Chains A and B, each alone.
Chain A
Amino acid sequence: MIARGRDRMAIKSWLGKLLFMDQETDGNSPERYDILRRNIMILMILVTIVPLFFMAVVNYHQYQATLREEIVTPMRALVNKTKHSFELFLAERISTVSFIASAYTFDQLADEATMNRIFRVTKEEFGGFVDLGLIDDQGIQVSYTGPYDLKGKDYSEQSWFHEVKVRGTYVSDVFMGYRKFPHIVVAVQRRSDDGKTWIVRATIDTEKFDDLIASMGLDASADAFLLNKDGILQTPSKIYGKVLEHFPLPLPPVSYEANVWEYEDAEHDDLMLAYTHFVHYPYILCVIKPKGEVLRAWYTLKTELFFLFVASVVVIFLVVFKLTDLLVKRMRESDEKREAAFREMEHSHKLSSIGRLAAGVAHEINNPMAIINEKAGLMKDLIEFAPTFPDKERFLSLTDAILQSVNRCRSITHRLLGFARRMEVQIEVLDLNGIIQETMTFLEKEASYRNIDIRLQLAPDLPKIASDRGQLQQVFLNIVNNAIAAVNDGGLITVTTWEKDTDFVATAIQDNGSGMSEETLKHIFEPFFTTKKSQGTGLGLPITYGIIKKLGGEIDVQSKEGKGTTITVYLPKRSITHETT
């Protein structure tokens, strides 16, 4: 129960993991999807195999019970029928003896001649009678007709004599008698009206028993025989030997109805015994069949069931495996896409709020700057327009310096505002070379500190393209920034542009820096993947990728560890996104 509870908890937590997977986004993803795949697989296999298994077990038992019943019932019927024949045969013999005892008086039977005549007639009419004798109530054989000279024999000490005195009739076990044939004794006690008792005793050979058993029509592997209550064979058995030999197996429990008893015998096959005890006679009728024979149909079915089960399990495993694989792959792809989109959105959100701030600041600064500009301009005008002015030249140079500073501020605020504008997609016809040159001016300073040579090999006749200036600047800024980070001091970065075909122009940014391993190369477009340890946001290339895709372009990365990296950006000449602003 406890174990079960624990299982349920485990399943619950699995389900929980499946359902709330999305919230564990900070885990490293490959492992996460392996766990997900494993959990889905276990779940699917559990919900398919467990019911299948139970169904198989239930079916197995159902079939077994049905088939067994189907086999056992005819065996039982046969045993009952044969028992009935035996009872009929024995009852007939007893009635014969009983008739003799009743039809004649003691004196008549005591007469040897009468006895002989009765014996002869009986033998002719009924068959199987070997001898006939009359015994008085003292147990002395008064008259006898048969192959032995038993007249005058005293039976008073024998157990059958006492039994017949108590019960009135007696049927003996089989014994070897005259001419080594198996026989039984039937004895009937007769009480006359005046209270005198006598016993008529007949010996009957059991040839008829064999006939009755043969008439059962059993197949070769089956065996049928009669046992007495001590387990001594009363008729010959194919398996267990001749008459009067001991039946080697333990006797089944007493049952007067046809019953089936199963032996699990280590030496032989397992056996199935259909048997019944006789009510009035000391016999047990047995039919034995080897179980394998009896249940052959069942074994075939069992094998088929087993193979069906195994095949189903294999198929389920395969399907579950493939399906889960597919499912998780799809899930992963969509997760990655969504995550990338989310990051990009988040980043552009961040940038656009920075942009708005910059725009606000620039705008606010522009107004006072315009006032300074005009005031200084007026000062300059007044100096210039005045016919005489002391230190005219000096004042003019001062106002010019003010105006120049204002101009510098103006270019700064305009650049800030330009950055802010970059957040919006604005398709215009652009000179790609111009954009690259402009972008490089932002990076020149850092490059010159580290003595990095940035070489531009720009195709002079490059056609203009319809694209977004700000976004393209961001792309080149990101890529060249990465290149600067990758090269050593004094490294070389080459930016080349050319016309790829009628639809695309290409820009390649090549560096001779550290390059990337295959493994790194696989992940560079994943958000938050960075090799710059503390400085990188891991967003540069994903954003770059996102922008290029948005602009309808392609990006290609070639890298060799220790040799350097080449990133090639292909841009469409005509914009695929219609202008939305």
Chain B
Amino acid sequence: MERYRVLLVDDEVEFVTTLAERLALRGIDARTAFNGEEALRIMEADPPQVLVLDLMMPGLGGMEVLQYVRSNYPQVQVILLTGQGSTRAGIEGMRLGAFDYLMKPLTIEELMEKIRIAVGGQVTG
């Protein structure tokens, strides 16, 4: 089975590196970016299958990144992370083309499930 390639974007370094390590433990190729600009640079070189994107970031925000990705890398699926406890931002993101959203703090099982479905729809579908 091919390893899923995922890019995690969040300004919380501790959060994103730990999450990457946990995903790696589960056999996922998880890279990290700590802000929107960095994420776009990495994507330019090698776009992942799934982008896990925090909405609240300094500099280039999650929504902008999402819009950019949707128009430039339509094959990349985006899963949004929101810390606001509100479904609204998530729904808004899905309207803009995100695959799904998750509320922080998240459970690893949920995230794995979403990634699996996202990639499944893209590669095998």
Contacts and interface: CB of A to CB of B under 8 A. Distances in A.
Interface of A: 359, 362-363, 366-367, 369-375, 377-378, 381-382, 385, 406-407, 409-410, 413-414, 416-418, 421
B15 A374 contact: yes
B117 interface: no
Interface in B1-36: 12, 14-15, 18-19, 21-22, 25-26
B86 to A, nearest CB: 6
Given A375-B14, A377-B22, A378-B22, A370 B106 contact: yes
30 contacts: A359-B84, A359-B85, A362-B85, A363-B83, A363-B85, A366-B85, A366-B105, A367-B15, A367-B83, A369-B104, A370-B104, A370-B105, A370-B106, A371-B12, A371-B14, A371-B15, A374-B14, A374-B15, A374-B19, A374-B22, A374-B105, A375-B14, A377-B108, A378-B18, A378-B21, A378-B25, A409-B105, A410-B105, A416-B85, A421-B88
Given A370-B15, A410-B103, A414-B85, 11 more contacts: A363-B83, A366-B104, A366-B105, A367-B104, A370-B105, A373-B107, A374-B19, A377-B108, A378-B25, A381-B108, A418-B85
A410 B104 CA distance: 8
Contacts, number: 70
A414 B21 CA distance: 27
A371 B11 CA distance: 12
B4 to A, nearest CB: 17
Interface in B76-115: 83-86, 88, 103-108
Contacts of B119: none
A377 B106 CA distance: 10
Interface of B: 12, 14-15, 18-19, 21-22, 25-26, 56, 83-86, 88, 103-108
Nearest to A413: B85
B105 A375 contact: no
Contacts of A369: 104-105
Contact of A366 (B21, B83, B108): B83
A381 B25 CA distance: 8
B81 to A, nearest CB: 8
B102 to A, nearest CB: 10
A372 B86 CA distance: 21
A367 B11 CA distance: 10
Contacts of B106: 370, 373
Given A378-B21, A381-B25, A385-B25, A370 B85 contact: no
A387 to B, nearest CB: 14
B84 A363 contact: yes
A363 B56 contact: yes
Given A378-B21, A406-B105, A370 B12 contact: yes
B56 A371 contact: no
Contacts of A410: 103, 105
B22 A370 contact: no
Nearest to B21: A378
A19 B108 CA distance: 68
A370 B86 contact: no
A540 B107 CA distance: 39
A411 to B, nearest CB: 10
Nearest to A417: B85
Contacts of B83: 363, 366-367, 370
A367 B57 CA distance: 12
Contacts of A367: 12, 15, 83, 104
B79 to A, nearest CB: 14
A194 B105 CA distance: 161
